[in-house]
Structures are given as structure tokens and as C-alpha cells.
Structure 1
Amino acid sequence: MNNLADAVISYHNRTKHQLNAYAKGPESLDWDDQPNPFRRFSSCEAVKLPSPGTELSCLFADLDKPEQIEPQPLNLANLGLLLELSFGLSAWKQFGPDRWALRCNPSSGNLHPTEAYVLCTDQELLPPGVYHYVSHDHHLERRSRFTAETAGKEVYIGLSSIHWREAWKYGERAFRYCQHDIGHALAALSYAAACLGWSIELLGETADADIAAWLGLDRSEDFVATEHETPDLVCRLHDGQTADVEFSTAHLAALSQSAEWFGKAERLSGRHFYRWPIIDEVSAQAVKPTTVAERLALPNLDLPAPSHNLPASALIRQRRSAQHFNGKSPELPLADFHRILAALLPNAKPPFTAWNWPAQVNIVLFVHRVAGLEPGLYVLPRTADAATELKPLCSADYEWQTVEAPFEFYRLTAGSVRQAAKTLSCHQPIASDSAFSLGMLARFADNVDTEAWRYRRLFWESGLLGQILYLEAEAAGVRGTGIGCFFDDAVHGVLGLKDNDWQSLYHFTIGEPLDDSRLQTFPAYAHLSESAAST
């Protein structure tokens, strides 16, 4: 194993939750110094976007055939809608004096470490330069102006992470959650683009250093040292109307070097009482170099229609994380269960159209209440060879009984697994009171040993699957919740796995939510109307 891989796996093992001890985190939360969830840059020109809230006629089921959705024109209103449905606010919640925003893209602990940028060379859309999206105000902050001549009409969306936002609450394990959230955000962007008849192309070959230079993230003087942003992904936007031609990102380096930059990031926290240097260390060890471009051929899968086929934009805005589930609710219909699982299989629809790498994550399910399916422990392989690889590594006690379904599906053992699901997910009832919960099991050691940065990619893939589960749950008339807290090695022990070849990276649960009547809900952008009315 190489030194970088060894260091990354050491971080992963160090940040596992154990039955007798949790990963290192703050002993108490400094609520008065919670990081500001909204990044802003001072001394930047604000570019107002048209009012948010437009509903599109595209239904959620239409996203199963994205090539049939009529493309919308690429203008400022639709660019704003893309950003809103990907990264914007979905609602405000209030409990007593506390008030907080929810967003269209999921985030661990609702802390939102992910930041979004637009790099534009299309002079008819925006003056060429780099722009930062502020979800609270639904506007763009102009971070740079390109002084070199631009060619073509290109729009790129870049994603970065502020690790401090997660570390404030989750300590050393926060780096994992930031990577989950990048996967959530990539999927959210892919879904939102499809609603408009567009698509995004993930430029997966791009090095972190190039993304940092293009977006101005390498300008250390513009950021508070402990609140810097790390580059993650960049995507090219395809509007469905312009013919695709051969293109290169080589000119972006010259544009960024010629750019005039504006603004400095405003401080998010004052005290930074706890410090977690291991996060900066693993971030450096998992830096992505330039890699070979990969473009996968994706199969076309016929998915059953969702039972709650709402307008896709409405469904995206209503996505929530359930805090509690009704443990006595009726069973989830089998057709809904099959639709949810089928949507996790690689196929030629969003968000897999924005994913360039072979699937590495498979699904272990704790089934509690699904109509026509016996409770028990199940496996959904997401690649043709996964079951063959996993079976000899798992406990010999498991039966690997083939289950009738529209896809490859196995039952390991029958019987109630509610207590096991709850215990393994840090004793959380959300894993046992739902219709089913699951763990995402990834090919681990070989990936990290091959290229240490793939550690991040495995979490991105898990987060991408998480966003699929969130939206498919809504389309089934139920609700989902991502679970980042689970006892890593206890999960592996239940399966009989004994080494780092496979690791569980993310858990999830789906069922009928129990709403808290004490919480008040307010519209996402009412504050913009109120602000305009007062001026």
C-alpha cells in the first residue's frame, strides 16, 4: 500500500464510531459561535437573479426519459432556477425563538459545507467571470472579471467545501460528511438541470489545483485561514439547444490568470474553540491530480411510474429529512419499494448521466415493513460481479436466497432486524421505525490503494445515491433521512466482513414521517419580498 493510501485509510479507521466509543468530536457545542450557514464575500458586485419559486411542467416521472424533456432557453431566469433547485432554500423552520433555513440539497446536520460557483464565458448571459451563489439572497456575487478575450458560450458550475462548517459539530468525522454533501449536491444539480431539459457533464478528469485556480479558491488572502474552501468538482452545463462540439478547458487557466478578482470571504465564526488538524491532513493526502477522462455507457432501464408523480420542481422543493418515523404505519407498497431500489441502479437518467465512474457502492437492506416482502437482511448488488465478490467474504450463515424482483436481489436472512438496525445506527430509532433502512457498502481498500483521492469519490457516490433516495422517497409519498452516525465495524461484523476490502460509508432510512406540530414552517424566500417592500 502506498503512503498516501495508508494515511487515508488510517484517517478512516481513526474516525470510525465504535460500540464503546464515538469518533473524536467537540465535548460541547458552542452554539453562540455556530458557523454562519451562508458564505458571503464583501466588496463584490451583487448580480440579482429573477425571483425564485417558478414551477415547471416537467413531472418527476419525466426525468426517467430526460431526452424527451423540451429544453428551456439558457437565460438569467432559468440559470437562477437551476441554482435555486440545486442549492437554494426550500423553507424556513422555527421552534420557539430558533429559526433556521432548509435547502433543496441535503446536508449532514443541515450545516451545508458545500459552496457553488458559476464560471461563465457567455457574454449574452453574464459578463464573463466567476460568480458565487448566495442561497439566502438568491443572487450571485461577482468574484472575478476576465480581462483576456473569451471565446465560446460556456457555463461551468464548480463545487467546493468549507470543512469547518461540519467540524464545528462533528469533529474529526466531518471530512467524511463534507464528501457526502458533495455527492448530494452533484445529484441535486443533475436533477435540476434535467427539469429544464438540460444536462451537466462532470469534468471528472480535472485536478483539484485547476478547480481552485479557476474559481479563485487558491487565493488564500481572500479567506480566513481556518475557514478556507477546498475544491471538489466542476461541471459543464449543456443547455440542450447548442450543438455539442469538441472542447477543452485549457483556456480556463489563461482566463483565471488574467482575471481581476474582487472581494474577501466574510468570517463565519469568531472563536474556533476546537481545532481538528487531522481534517487538513487527510484533505491534503486525498488531493485529486489530473486523471484520464472516463465516459460510461449507461443502460436504459424501464422504471415503474412513481405513485406520487408530482411536478419535479415541487417535489425537489418539498424534500425534507424526517426526524422521526411512525413505527406502526402501514407497510410500504412493494411497487414503491421496487421503484426506489431500481432507481439506485446505474442507468441513463439523472443523476447517473452526471457520474463518470463505474459503480463501487452496493446496498445492504434492513427490511422492516414492506408489503409482500418478509422482514430480514437483504443485498442489492449494483454491479454484475458484486454478489460474486461479496458472498465468500460474508458470514457462511447467510443463505443468499434469490428474491423475485425486477433486478438482482438477495435475502441473507429472514426475521426481524429492527433492533439490529437501531443498534448499528448509533441506537437511533429512525433506523428501526421506518419501512426499511440500509447501509452503503463500498469496494474500499483497492480503490484507495489505487488512487488515494478515490476515498472522496466513494463518499461522493454514496451521497449521490442518498439524493436519489431522498427524492424517490418523496415520489413514493414517504420520506427519507440520511444517517451518518453508525458503528462502522459493528456493521461489518454483522455481515462477517473482516478487513478493509469493503466498508460501509453511509446509512439511510425511509418510511412514514411523524411531523412535530411544534415546528412552524415559513416560505423559502418570503424575506426577499419583505425586504423589497420595506425599501
Structure 2
Amino acid sequence: MSISSSSTQEQESLTQVLTYHNQTKHSFTNYARGLDWDNQPSPFRRYISAPLRPLLHPPNSDDSPIYNSLFSYLPPPKPISNTTLFSLLLQFPCIIRLEINRIFYLAAQTHYAPKEHALEIRAQIPSQFFPNFFPNGSFLIGLSSIFWREAWKYGERGFRYCNHDLGHAIAAVTMAAAGMGWDVKVLDGLGHDELKRIMGFEVYPEFKIPSRTVKGKFEEIEFEHPDCLLLVFPNGVDGFDVNYKDLSLAISQFSSLDWKGEPNSLSKEHVCWDVIYRTSEAVKKPLTLEKKFVIDSFEKSATCSEDSYDHLTLRELVRKRRSEVDMDGVTSIERNTFYQILLRCLPSGFQEKQKRQLGLPCRALDWDSEVHCVLFVHRVVGLPKGLYFLVRNEENFDDLKKGMRLDFKWEKPEGCPPELPLYELARIDCMKLSKHLSCHQDIASDGCFSLGMVARVEPTMRDKGVWMYPRLFWETGVVGQVLYLEAHAVGISATGIGCFFDDPVHEVLGLTGSNFQSLYHFTVGGPVVDKRKMSLPAYPGMHNMLGLSHLY
């Protein structure tokens, strides 16, 4: 392909993505198209007739580390086994629109079946594949999306939600792995074709995108879109490199593997939002041989209020994690607790300047941070109500300040740790404002604080590639997962908010154009306890339930 034709294609892809992003914005007068509740898909993807390998229960004793200790150091790595994989998989939530799958373990490519808590063996892989490219004690986890699982409910905005979920999953895997003494890194030099091949998705028929939104029976719409491949490896392993050229060549041999199992059908009828599939085509990442695989040394996070935490183990905390439906509108938190939560949201850990993603769980990502947070503070004792801004990449500070309202203060709040790049913009009661911006939802005003995640969008795509668009949503999901864990760790709760009015958020900040865009909202506060909910042990009586005890 010539340079000029390549540039033309890149511009067309950029135009498609910006069209999608603007078309799927909510406004005060118009919501993005969607909300079709008639065709809810099955929550579980299975591969019929693929051999099923159950996973062992971990010991009854909780030997996982204290949650907040992981931000200071990682424990010695545990060996990979059936039991440690069980613990890993139970410590990140099952997101039904996302396939937490393609676990490469014991020289096999497997699909995780969460309902059965077992691995479906899709194919045997060459025995020398791992030794040739990765250190001892490592394995791969592939993540994929079925767009239909979001689109049935959220319509054309579903592509955004899939990538939010992807970020949550990356962070959840990274934290669960950290509890085992394992590190995690996205193998982001690989392209879409390599991911499709290694995950066994070449068996799907090619989906022909219609020219408009249509309703009917489209079995091929239930295909899995390969999102990313995570390398899980022992913490502290000596430096190693990944040769993407040789790795791509080895993956090309996966086309000839003997793939087992046929994907089950999820819905009887579908609505095809063509704009989702055109955009997913536009953001397909090519193989990038020049991308270096860099393992940065672990960077601890800053601490200003260790006493804020309940000192739960990682396993205890993860099992408490919930998305609340209502906040009580009463609960408040101390100022230092608020600062402590935000310190954990920083990408670089305890560094003088925030930019490179070195701390947990951001370190799984391989690009400099592009996501910032505008905060609506409601009930933080010792901190005035108002609008605040957390700068997560301080190289963007000047552009943010110039692009936002001239009357914003940009002052460090009282008692703010020097390593926390948090700024007070305006002292106002923003309860009604935050509610209206989040689609009139009370939950945004009834917490201790809420926030919107603002990303550097168009410049990032121009500088690095249009394929960065979904990755910006991944980064917001990573930050969101931190907020979930931190909220529960200090005794309150949190909820992600995908419904918000995009451009009105920008107007409040004074932002124009598409340089910075709001991609995700969140709220943190005291939950209203729903007595209808019940927590039960995970997979009770698994041996008998599966009828597979003879395989252990």
C-alpha cells in the first residue's frame, strides 16, 4: 500500500470513529438510539462438544494478601496450577457481555465457561510455543467481546460499553494476578489478525455489515471480536523481550490447529446496529513490529491515609464488590480518605510526575495515560463542595487549562498531598448539576462524590493510530475498577454510569472540539442496602454439580 493510500485510509477510519462518537452522544433533547429489551441473549457462551476440564477449589483458608499491601509490593509468585487458576478466575467478576477466555495453559487453548467454572479445551497448541517466546511460569489470557451482548440493551452506544467492560476486566485480572505474585502486560504489538487467529475465531463466518440498522435473525452477528491478549508472568522475572515478528509467524500456524466445539446460539432474533460494526472495522489494529515490549519495574503507590482501609484480604474485598443501584444521600467521607482513593487512581504510582503507567493496575497498559477526571464533590468532610480536576498525565496540564473555562481557579485544595495532581476549579454546590449531567440519575448526586472521565481523544488517534479509540475506553474501565475496589476497601460503595450527556459535560468545563471528550462517569458513596440481594458461596458442591469429580 502506498503512503498516500495509507494516509487516505487512516483519515477515513478517523472520520468513521468521530462520526460514531458524535452519533452516539446523549443530549438533553435526544438520546442515542437503542434500549431494545426484547431479545436478551443468553449470558453464557459455550463451545458445544469441546472437552471440559473443571478447576479445583482453593484451600478453605484465605491466604491472599491484604488488598492495600499490593500497592506497596507484590508477594512472591505462586506456581501455576489448577488451584491457582481457580483463585485467579474467581477474583475477577463475570461480565456477561465479555468473554474472559482463551486461557493458554498446559499447552492448550481453552475457553473459560463461568457457569460451570471449567475450561473448555478448544485446541492443543505446539509444545514449544511458550518456551520460545515467554519466561517460565507464564500463560496468556485473551479477552473478547460479543457486541450483540451490549447492543441488545444499549443499541448503538453498546460499542462504548464493551470497551468499558474490557478495561474493567484488564484491571480485575491484573489485581487478581498481583495477589498471586504475578505481573500482567497487554501484548499490544499484535494486530487484529493475530488475535483472531490465536483465539480461534477464524471458524466464524465473515459478518457482512448491512447498509443500515436492520432487525431479523443474524446468527453470524454473535461472533466474538478479539480485543487483547494479556501475558501473565511471575513478578520479578529477569528482563525479557517479545519478538513480535517471530511471534506473529508462530501464531500464523494456529490456523491449521484442530479446533474443537461449536459456539452456541445466544438469541432467536437480533437488531444489527451497522454503525457498531463499521466502527469496529475502522479501529482494527495492525501488527506493529516497531512496538517494544517493555516490563517496567513495579512502582508503589503513594499513601496519605492507611487508616482509611478496613484491611480486608484481596479475596474478601473482590467478593464484596457490587454495583449499587442507589446511594443514601447522607454518607460522607473524610478529606484524607478522598485523597487516598484518588492516589490509587494515578497511573505512575509514587512518581514526581504522572504520565507513564507504572503502578497497579494501570501497569498492564503500555501507553502513557490519556484519561483525566473531573470531580463533583458533595460530601467530603474538610473539603468545600465544588468542581475539582485530577490530572493523570501532567504533560496535558497546559492544554487542559487553556481549553477550559478561564475563570477556573486551578488551585491545590487544602491538605492535598504534594504528589496528588488535584486542583480545585470552582466552589459550587454541584449536586443538581452532576445529577442532570448523568441523565438525571439521583445516584450521581447522592454519593460522596461523582466524576466524569475526560480523555484526550482526537490528538491521541492522530498521534498513535485510530485503534487507540477503544483503548481510551479500556483506560477508563481500569480507573473505574480501581474506584470500585477502593470504595469497598474504605467501607462504602461505587457504581459506573454509562448514561450521561456528553456535550453538556464539555460545556460545563468550557471544552470545545474533539480534543478532550467525556467517556465514562462514576459515583462513590454510601449504598442503600437492598435486602432482596443475597450472597452465597461460589460454586457450592462443585464436584457433584459438575459430575466430573473423576477428572480431578
Q: 1:484 aligns with which of 494, 498, 517?
A: 498
Deviates more, 1:503-512 or 1:244-253: 244-253
CA–CA distance in 2 between the matches of 1:131 and 1:295? Answer: 27
1:25 aligns with 2:27: no
CA deviation profile, 1:363-401 (whole Å, cap 9, x unmatched): 100000001000000011112233321112112232222
What is the one-letter code of the residue matched to 2:226?
P
Helix, strand or coil at the partner of 1:293: coil
What is the one-letter code of the residue matched to 1:285?
A
Match of residue 89 from structure 1: none
CA–CA distance in 2 between the matches of 1:66 and 1:390? Answer: 33
Query: RMSD value over aligned CA atoms?
Result: 2.2
Contact 1:296 1:358 survives alignment (8 Å): no
CA deviation profile, 1:110-147 (whole Å, cap 9, x unmatched): x4333321123xxxxx2x22100111111000011235
1:61 aligns with 2:68: yes
Q: 1:279 aligns with which of 276, 280, 299?
A: 276
Contact 1:147 1:258 survives alignment (8 Å): no
Contact 1:45 1:142 survives alignment (8 Å): yes
1:446 aligns with 2:459: yes
Contact 1:492 1:504 survives alignment (8 Å): yes
CA–CA distance in 1 between the matches of 2:250 and 2:59? Answer: 33
CA–CA distance in 2 between the matches of 1:13 and 1:449? Answer: 17
CA–CA distance in 1 between the matches of 2:363 and 2:126? Answer: 34
Contact 1:481 1:509 survives alignment (8 Å): yes
Match of residue 98 from structure 1: none
CA–CA distance in 1 between the matches of 2:88 and 2:524? Answer: 27
What is the one-letter code of the residue matched to 2:429?
S
Aligned ranges 1:449-528 → 2 under 5 Å:
449-450=462-463, 451-526=465-540, 528=542
Helix, strand or coil at the partner of 2:380: coil
CA–CA distance in 2 between the matches of 1:56 and 1:217? Answer: 37
Match of residue 99 from structure 1: none
Q: Alpha-carbon deviation of 1:84?
A: 2.0
CA–CA distance in 1 between the matches of 2:295 and 2:499? Answer: 32
Contact 2:439 2:500 survives alignment (8 Å): yes
CA–CA distance in 2 between the matches of 1:118 and 1:520? Answer: 30
Q: Alpha-carbon deviation of 1:48?
A: 1.1
What is the one-letter code of the residue matched to 1:368?
H
What is the one-letter code of the residue matched to 1:236?
L
CA–CA distance in 1 between the matches of 2:59 and 2:495? Answer: 24
Gaps of 5+ in 2: 1-9, 208-218, 350-357
Q: 2:313 aligns with which of 311, 314, 326?
A: 311
Match of residue 230 from structure 2: 235
Q: 2:42 aligns with which of 36, 40, 52?
A: 36
Aligned ranges 1:15-164 → 2 under 5 Å:
15-26=24-35, 28-30=36-38, 33-51=39-57, 55-67=62-74, 69-86=75-92, 104=93, 107=95, 111-120=96-105, 126=106, 128-146=107-125, 150=129, 152=131, 154-164=138-148
CA–CA distance in 2 between the matches of 1:453 and 1:533? Answer: 44
Q: Tell me the TM-score normalised to structure 1 length.
A: 0.89
Match of residue 4 from structure 2: none
Contact 1:56 1:312 survives alignment (8 Å): no
Match of residue 293 from structure 1: 292
Match of residue 365 from structure 1: 375
1:340 aligns with 2:341: yes
Q: Alpha-carbon deviation of 1:353?
A: 2.3
Contact 1:159 1:182 survives alignment (8 Å): yes
CA–CA distance in 2 between the matches of 1:118 and 1:377? Answer: 43
CA deviation profile, 1:436-493 (whole Å, cap 9, x unmatched): 0000001111112331111111001000101011101111111010000000000001
Helix, strand or coil at the partner of 1:140: strand
Q: Alpha-carbon deviation of 1:81?
A: 1.4
Q: 2:198 aligns with which of 210, 214, 236?
A: 214
Contact 1:118 1:132 survives alignment (8 Å): yes
Contact 1:362 1:386 survives alignment (8 Å): no
What is the one-letter code of the residue matched to 1:209?
D
Deviates more, 1:304-313 or 1:170-179: 304-313
Q: Tell me the TM-score normalised to structure 2 length.
A: 0.86
Deviates more, 1:156-165 or 1:244-253: 244-253
Q: Alpha-carbon deviation of 1:517?
A: 1.6
Q: 1:323 aligns with which of 305, 314, 325?
A: 325
Q: 1:270 aligns with which of 238, 262, 268?
A: 268
Helix, strand or coil at the partner of 1:209: helix
Gaps of 5+ in 1: 87-103, 121-125
What is the one-letter code of the residue matched to 1:265?
P
What is the one-letter code of the residue matched to 1:71?
P
Alignment coverage as a number of residue pairs: 502
Contact 2:58 2:84 survives alignment (8 Å): no
Contact 1:368 1:416 survives alignment (8 Å): yes
CA–CA distance in 2 between the matches of 1:367 and 1:390? Answer: 20
Helix, strand or coil at the partner of 1:159: strand
Helix, strand or coil at the partner of 1:377: strand
Deviates more, 1:152-161 or 1:452-461: 152-161
CA deviation profile, 1:68-97 (whole Å, cap 9, x unmatched): x122121111022112213xxxxxxxxxxx
Contact 2:242 2:293 survives alignment (8 Å): no
User: CA 1:496–1:242 in structure 2 vs 1: closer, same or farther (change >3 Å)?
Assistant: closer
Which structure exhibits the higher relative contact order, with contacts defined as CA atoms closer than 8 Å and separated by 6 or more residues? 1
Q: Alpha-carbon deviation of 1:303?
A: 2.0
User: CA 1:528–1:112 in structure 2 vs 1: closer, same or farther (change >3 Å)?
Assistant: farther
User: CA 1:448–1:149 in structure 2 vs 1: closer, same or farther (change >3 Å)?
Assistant: closer
